[in-house]
Structure 1
């Protein structure tokens, strides 16, 4: 008998988790001590990193650990801080992506981070396989989200802009790969004077922001790779929020308090969001309204609702 197609009990459907996805932490699945304590880290999303390189036997063990962890954390105690469960898999140009995906989907994660994503074709291929797995597993169709990790190579970086016109509906956020891009063309630095991104990286980062906001989805900043300097990580998170990113990756739990604080909404932002929602509630058929000294449209209403956790 086919299982009824219902979302998992901690699914994003109905509990507005996607409205508060600000801190994302990458967790190595080949380190049991990291997996053992990460549930209480304070992250909005925990991303098990299956895309890390390693010996075949070690990778196989890591997939088992990831599947077990994802299954065991499907049910989350309501009294604790809830989080989404994601997995990062190898790129579609690697031999490991399907084994990574199959292992992750055994635990019915909220979403998949696709590393080394080359563009819309990779996303469509992943979405098609996800649909087959969901159907076979009795999951609701399209319940599993996708976050492509873009810009790992110059060619994929130049393809980012096209996603504004052909983004798959499963995609709920975009992120980027500064380190992969640096390796691809031999860059000796990511940032120039005063900590500013060098030109190639700034171009990719700007495209992530523009495409994400054009499509009304999340824009997640690249992680700060020095886990020993939480102060600098916090400053980078504050800069990312000021630039328009909606969240940021962490690589260590110590980075999470600074990221959560940086992306917490200001009182002024909450107040404006309430005014926008109230204005459209009073004028439900309107496409554009004046709120204070601003003209706002339906895209502003969607952002306001996400900020308030109402989408």
Structure 2
């Protein structure tokens, strides 16, 4: 069975302030909660990792690999994160470097090897979408790829991704979406798409349908309201 079946894969939620006050039963409808590392979330990460009855993964969204420091990974793993979302991914080499850094951090803290998962976020570094190197077998930690169309649009200066059915989609965004789905399929992992933060309920349902039709396994929601819609989609 294909891994790219939106209706069977729970969404991820990129947490803003209001998401952090949700009840654990609501958060448990998610596959994972993503918090930006270094944005004042340190105490929240530690508290969420100890949340009673938690069934969702706790993920930290970190800087591109060339800006990421070992001390930050040590701190995040010590706080209880279970996965890392690598922004600005440029391809296989970035993922492998993060794999090595996580291996060192796990050993230093005394965590089981390969405990920490990797999600590679594509978009902010457009050159990553042009890399000829396969991701298959690059790391047993690699859980999924995330396409961030807004980050790609900002990087290349094109129109932001459509958030409603009547809006057109810029060619670089279309190409990037297809690239991420194909790369994930080749590697045998899941592809996720970041939803527009401005999408209302109707636009969210349309975006979910588009993601499913284009082969994404699930989505990264930008609000609790989107997560509720995606969770029952």
Instruction: Pick the TM interval, shorter chain.
Output: 0.7 to 0.9
Alignment of 1:106-145 (within 5 A): 106-145=78-117
1:203 CA displacement: 1.0
User: Residue 158 of structure 2 contacts residue 170 of structure 2 at CA under 8 Å; is this kept in 1?
Assistant: no
Partner-residue secondary structure (3-state), 1:142: coil
**Which of 217, 223, 233 is equivalent to 1:252?**
223
For residues 189-242 of structure 1, the C-alpha deviation after alignment (integer angstroms, 9 at most, x for no partner) is: 434984453211111111111111122211111222215x12211210122112
1:76 aligned onto 2:53: yes
Alignment of 1:1-311 (within 5 A): 21-28=9-16, 31=17, 34-37=19-22, 39=24, 40-41=26-27, 42-50=29-37, 59=39, 62-73=40-51, 76=53, 82-94=55-67, 98=70, 100-159=72-131, 161-165=132-136, 167-191=138-162, 194-226=166-198, 229-262=200-233
Q: Report the CA distance shift for 1:179/1:195 in structure 2 as closer, same or farther (over 3 A).
A: same
Tell me which of the two structures has the higher relative contact order, counting C-alpha pairs closer than 8 angstroms and 6 or more residues apart. Answer: 2
Partner-residue secondary structure (3-state), 2:79: coil
In 2, distance between residues paired with 1:100 and 1:233?
A: 34
Partner-residue secondary structure (3-state), 2:35: strand
Partner-residue secondary structure (3-state), 2:15: strand
Q: Report the CA distance shift for 1:115/1:97 in structure 2 as closer, same or farther (over 3 A).
A: farther
User: Residue 222 of structure 1 contacts residue 248 of structure 1 at CA under 8 Å; is this kept in 2?
Assistant: yes
Deviates more, 1:99-108 or 1:121-130: 99-108
User: Residue 237 of structure 1 contacts residue 258 of structure 1 at CA under 8 Å; is this kept in 2?
Assistant: no
Gaps of 5+ in 1: 1-19, 52-58, 263-311
Match of 1:10 in 2: none
Higher helix share: 1
1:69 CA displacement: 2.6
Partner-residue secondary structure (3-state), 2:81: coil
In 2, distance between residues paired with 1:66 and 1:256?
A: 20
Gaps of 5+ in 2: 1-7
1:188 CA displacement: 3.4
User: Residue 63 of structure 1 contacts residue 100 of structure 1 at CA under 8 Å; is this kept in 2?
Assistant: no
In 1, distance between residues paired with 2:23 and 2:190?
A: 23
User: Residue 70 of structure 1 contacts residue 107 of structure 1 at CA under 8 Å; is this kept in 2?
Assistant: no
Q: Report the CA distance shift for 1:36/1:97 in structure 2 as closer, same or farther (over 3 A).
A: farther
Length, aligned pairs only: 224
TM-score using structure 2 length: 0.84
